[in-house]
């Protein structure tokens, strides 16, 4: 029964996901350990999927179902996680609570927090201890967000409670998993993302894409939402729904972001912690705005060659380009100009994307062209960053701040260059530069 | 209206199209990824890509099938659509093909009599229970002909468990289940399925029908 509690508590599952034969499941239902609830319920003029919260009429389909011999609704919104249909209920565990206390919860992180970091870390622990529902952590890129929440996570794990860190992107789960595993070597930890192969596994500490959270209900005492401003979290209503559903009543939710959207700051009365300083205590590189007469879309501006060849320090260069199409036009041009240099390009649909990013991180590439997919989450120690046609609408303020935040992450070389090439400064460019300067100012004041 | 595949809002604008009663629920971006077969280059299997048909060389002499016709090429996009439809079970996606499926049927099988029977390729019971629908039946239900379940499919063994020899001579998984009294053997039959790839499935089914005494068997699939 202990194992069942660990496997099923806090989850909302389809029959197929329970992986028990019928007679066993029936016995558990009879003993009152599992309960059932309807998967789709009627809501005024529409329906609502109880797993993903979908209410949009065009995202329900009608299936002529051979199991129940009727035609009825199913949810098309969350179908990639298995089909939710009105003739099959969802199952949830109401048996004994899982016991995670078996092993001692060693917190093995040996690093040291800066003064700014430890102030923020204390605020987190305080919020958890006092049952504060929500806390926004506005931390600049490279401030060490993960280390800031470690102490709070340890605190909750020690109380035999469950913790979840949710992020919109699978890359981030993959990157954070080993870091959490070495900080909490005796805690059960699972990383959930599409294609991880572990999506029916459970643990006391869960790192998950927001999508995979749809299978959870009333599970976590501490929820950490990373990059809450990032697409698709704020564009897709089912993701906030999923994170709300996954927490227990009285849980604490931490929102981590480097670029809170304006409406988030204006509307919410959420208490906010600022972390304006990077972990290495050097200021953020301020982007240089380079005005061109015309920003060519499929050729390189001459000033780029000039800059590339005359830089005093030859760092690796990450070049952000607005569209996949343009990366494909620009790649051969730069490769033929610098035949000895190792140059590649990546985009969201590139099957070799992970390999190329690893190569770049291992300094096996000199230049990497990319679309906005590498704008956040991934870190490279010491690089220069260039944005071509920074006035293009894909580069909004948050994207530009995140992109600029890729530079100067190394303690040894904390001052990478950031260049925005454009043919007319947009509001996004102006505001991005202004907000970076503002954070640097805040960090300076904090030190005095 | 929203595109059934990518969920984008479809802006048709105010044109003559808006007053048409029915429009395919697919956006122009997705629609251009479908490759309709207009003029088959192989009169037997109905493909149109001018690749010489090794499979057909094998099947033609068996005289089991009059011919096969298909609506679209089985390209990367259609592969993705069919996978989502069948394996994810997104039933509603059939609506993407309604018009083309009906129109091609009328074009290719116009000379067959009105009382022609449709026989959808069945699924095994286990698979049907898991999927909750049979994609071939869903396709057959779009056509204005009577569907008759003349075949039954046995539970298949796992591909990996089969020996090589076994795999080559793949056992015919179908059983005939028509009854002598209510079957007219002169009536033409059109087998319906989602994909015609090597032709093995269709010919296995046709073989059972011909052995039972049916004289004319055709097949019609969504993809080739
Ligand atoms: Zn749903
Ligand atoms: Zn049903
Ligand atoms: Zn579409
Ligand atoms: Zn052929």
Domain, as residue range, for B9 = 1-32
Give me the interface pTM, i.e. the ipTM: 0.87
Q: How confident is the model at residue B49 (pLDDT cuts 50, 70, 90)?
A: confident
CATH number at residue B175: 3.40.50
- In angstroms, the CA B218 to CA B105 distance is 12
Q: Which ligand is nearest to the CA of B80?
A: 3
pLDDT at position A92 is: 97
**Ligand 3 center from residue B31 Cα (angstroms):** 7
pLDDT at position B24 is: 76
Mutating which of A14, A67, A78, A85 best tests the B interface, going by the most B Cβ atoms within 10 A? A67
Mutating which of A15, A57, A62, A63 best tests the B interface, going by the most B Cβ atoms within 10 A? A63
B23 and B122 share a domain?
A: no
Mutating which of B88, B92, B122 best tests the A interface, going by the most A Cβ atoms within 10 A? B92
Does domain A288-447 fall under CATH 3.40.50.300? My reply is: yes
> For residue A372, which phi and psi values (nearest 5 degrees)?
-70, 0
Q: A61–B129: do the CB atoms touch at under 8 Å?
A: no
**How many residue pairs from chains A and B have C-beta atoms closer than 8 A?**
42
- In angstroms, the CA A231 to CA A234 distance is 6
**Ligand 4 center from residue A260 Cα (angstroms):** 59
B70 and B165 share a domain?
A: yes
Q: Are B207 and B64 a contacting pair, CB within 8 Å?
A: yes
pLDDT at position B87 is: 92
pLDDT at B26 over 60: yes
> Given A16, A58, A79, which is nearest B90 (Cβ)?
A79
Fold topology of A115-275: Rossmann fold (3.40.50)
> Given A66, A79, A80, which is nearest B134 (Cβ)?
A66
pLDDT at B164 over 80: no
Task: Name the DSSP letter for residue A84.
Answer: -
pLDDT at B198 over 90: no
SS3 B198: coil
pLDDT (tens digit per residue) in A382-423:
899 999 999 999 999 999 999 999 999 988 889 899 999 999
B178 and B134 share a domain?
A: yes
B79 and B24 share a domain?
A: no
Q: In this complex, is the C-beta atom of B128 within 8 Å of any C-beta atom belonging to chain A?
A: yes
CA atoms within 13 A on the CB side of A76: 22
User: Domain tally for chain B?
Assistant: 2
- A446 torsion bin: left (phi>0), alpha (psi -120 to 50), beta (else): alpha
* A361 or B55: which leads in pLDDT: A361
B86 and B172 share a domain?
A: yes
Q: Which ligand is nearest to the CA of A40?
A: 1
Q: Are A261 and A231 a contacting pair, CB within 8 Å?
A: no
Domain spans of chain A, in order of start: 2-93, 115-275, 288-447
Q: In this complex, is the C-beta atom of B33 within 8 Å of any C-beta atom belonging to chain A?
A: no
Q: Is the dihedral of CA A253, A258, A263, A266 positive or negative?
A: positive
Q: B2–A83: do the CB atoms touch at under 8 Å?
A: no
- In angstroms, the CA A188 to CA A205 distance is 6
- In angstroms, the CA B24 to CA B36 distance is 14
SS3 B28: helix
B141 and B175 share a domain?
A: yes
| CA end-to-end distance (rounded Å), chain A | 57
Q: A66–B89: do the CB atoms touch at under 8 Å?
A: no
Q: In this complex, is the C-beta atom of B88 within 8 Å of any C-beta atom belonging to chain A?
A: yes
B57 and B132 share a domain?
A: yes
Measure in Å the smallest separation between the Cα of B6 and chain A Cα atoms.
11
B178 and B214 share a domain?
A: yes
Measure in Å the smallest separation between the Cα of B90 and chain A Cα atoms.
7
Question: What's the order of all strands across the beta sheet hosting A272-275?
Answer: A189-192, A205-209, A163-167, A220-226, A247-257, A134-139, A272-275
How many angstroms separate the Cα of A416 from the Cα of each of A238, A292, B73? 38, 22, 51
* B220 or B155: which leads in pLDDT: B220
B27 and B54 share a domain?
A: no
B197 and B140 share a domain?
A: yes
Q: B7–A58: do the CB atoms touch at under 8 Å?
A: yes
In chain B, what percentage of residues exceed pLDDT 70?
A: 88
Please state the pTM of the whole predicted model.
0.84
Measure in Å the smallest separation between the Cα of A78 and chain B Cα atoms.
10
Token code pair at residue B105 = 């049927």
Q: Are A235 and A265 a contacting pair, CB within 8 Å?
A: no
B101 and B21 share a domain?
A: no
pLDDT at position B20 is: 47
Q: What is the mean pLDDT of chain A?
A: 91
Find chain A residues with C-beta within 8 A of B7's C-beta. Answer: 58-59
Q: Which residue ranges of chain A lie beneath pLDDT 50?
A: none
pLDDT at B165 over 70: no
């Amino acid at each position: 029964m202990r194992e069942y509690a660990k496997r099923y508590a806090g989850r909302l599952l389809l029959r197929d996901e329970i992986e028990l034969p019928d007679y066993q499941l029936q016995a558990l239902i009879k003993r009152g350990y599992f309960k059932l609830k309807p998967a789709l319920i009627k809501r005024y003029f529409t329906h609502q999927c109880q797993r993903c919260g979908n209410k949009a009429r065009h995202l329900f389909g009608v299936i002529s179902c051979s199991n129940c011999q009727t035609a009825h609704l199913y949810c098309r919104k969350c179908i990639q996680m298995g089909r939710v249909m009105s003739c099959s209920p969802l199952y949830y565990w109401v048996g004994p609570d899982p016991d995670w206390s078996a092993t001692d919860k060693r917190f093995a992180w040996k690093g040291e927090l800066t003064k700014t970091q430890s102030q923020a870390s204390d605020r987190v622990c305080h919020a958890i201890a006092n049952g504060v529902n929500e806390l926004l952590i506005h931390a600049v890129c490279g401030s060490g967000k993960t280390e800031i929440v470690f102490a709070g996570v340890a605190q909750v794990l020690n109380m035999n409670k469950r913790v979840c860190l949710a992020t919109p992107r699978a890359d981030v789960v993959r990157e954070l998993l080993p870091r959490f595993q070495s900080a909490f070597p005796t805690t059960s930890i699972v990383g959930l993302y599409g294609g991880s192969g572990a999506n029916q596994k459970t643990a006391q500490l869960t790192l998950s894409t927001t999508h995979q959270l749809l299978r959870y209900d009333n599970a976590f005492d501490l929820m950490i939402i990373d990059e809450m401003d990032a697409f698709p979290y704020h564009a897709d209503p089912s993701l906030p729904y999923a994170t709300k559903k996954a927490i227990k009543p009285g849980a604490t939710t931490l929102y981590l972001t480097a670029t809170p959207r304006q409406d988030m700051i204006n509307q919410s009365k959420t208490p906010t912690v600022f972390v304006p300083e990077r972990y290495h205590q050097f200021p953020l590189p301020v982007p240089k705005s380079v005005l061109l007469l015309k920003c060519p879309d499929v050729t390189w501006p001459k000033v780029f060659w000039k800059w590339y060849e005359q830089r005093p320090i030859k760092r690796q260069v990450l070049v952000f380009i607005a569209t996949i199409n343009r990366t494909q036009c620009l790649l051969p041009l730069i490769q033929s100009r610098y035949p000895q240099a190792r140059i590649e390009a990546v985009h969201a649909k590139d099957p070799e994307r992970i390999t190329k990013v690893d190569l770049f991180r291992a300094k096996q590439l000199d230049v990497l062209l990319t679309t906005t997919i590498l704008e956040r989450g991934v870190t490279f120690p010491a690089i220069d960053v260039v944005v071509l046609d920074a006035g293009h609408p894909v580069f909004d303020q948050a994207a530009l701040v995140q992109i600029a935040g890729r530079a100067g992450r190394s303690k040894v070389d904390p001052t990478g260059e950031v260049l925005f090439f454009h043919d007319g400064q947009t509001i996004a460019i102006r505001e991005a530069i202004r907000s970076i300067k503002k954070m640097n100012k805040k960090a300076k004041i904090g030190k005095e | 209206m929203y595109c059934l595949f990518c969920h984008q809002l479809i802006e048709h604008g105010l044109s003559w199209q808006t007053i048409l009663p029915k429009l395919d629920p697919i956006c122009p971006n997705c629609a251009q990824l479908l490759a309709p077969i207009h003029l088959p280059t192989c009169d037997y299997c109905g493909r149109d890509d001018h690749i010489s048909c090794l499979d057909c060389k094998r099947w033609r002499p068996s005289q089991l099938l009059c011919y096969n016709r298909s609506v679209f090429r089985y390209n990367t996009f259609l592969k993705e659509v069919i996978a989502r439809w069948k394996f994810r079970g997104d039933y509603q996606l059939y609506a993407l093909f309604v018009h083309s499926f009906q129109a091609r049927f009328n074009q290719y099988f116009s000379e067959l009599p009105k009382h022609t029977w449709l026989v959808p390729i069945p699924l095994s019971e286990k698979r049907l229970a898991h999927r909750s629908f049979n994609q071939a039946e869903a396709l057959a239900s779009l056509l204005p002909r009577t569907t008759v379940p003349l075949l039954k499919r046995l539970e298949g063994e796992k591909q990996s468990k089969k020996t090589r020899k076994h795999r080559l001579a793949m056992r015919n998984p179908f059983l005939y289940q028509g009854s002598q009294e209510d079957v007219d053997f002169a009536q033409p039959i059109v087998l319906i399925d989602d994909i015609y790839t090597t032709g093995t499935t269709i010919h296995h089914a046709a073989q059972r029908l011909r052995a039972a005494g049916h004289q004319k068997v055709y097949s019609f699939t969504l993809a080739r």
